[in-house]
Amino acid sequence: MQFRIYDRGLAIDPTQQAKTNPVIDLEPQDPTNGLCRRAQITASGVSLSAVAIVDNPEGKFVIYALTQDTAHDLPGALYLFEH
């Protein structure tokens, strides 16, 4: 399952437009708990491994993802909530 994020995407400064449209690849997903242990987040030609979980609280989709930028030794987190 892949999600393309438009709008600002993964821009570090949320007031600036992203230079690319990031892609989140959530496969494979555990059918019992929604956990994706080998998710990938790709933006600006850089692909980061992540652990993600997809949930559906109150009938709205939510994606939580944690990643580590090993080149810069920085942690990353992504939270997407359906309006």
Segment 52-63, tens digit of pLDDT: 998 888 888 888
d(CA 15, CA 18): 9
Q: Please say if the pLDDT value at position 73 is more than 60.
A: yes
pLDDT at 51 (0 to 100)? 94
pLDDT at 11 (0 to 100)? 42
How many independent structural domains does the chain possess? 1
Q: Please say if the pLDDT value at position 80 is more than 80.
A: yes
| Domain extent at residue 19 | 2-81
Residue 66: which H helix or E strand, with range? Answer: strand 62-69
Segment 23-52, tens digit of pLDDT: 888 888 888 888 999 999 887 778 889 999
Written as six digits, the tokens of 29 are 């997903």
Q: Is 57 helix (H, G, I), strand (E, B) or coil?
A: helix
* Mean pLDDT, the chain, integer: 77
| Residue 73 β-bridge partners | none
Cβ atoms of 48 and 68 within 8 Å: the answer is: yes
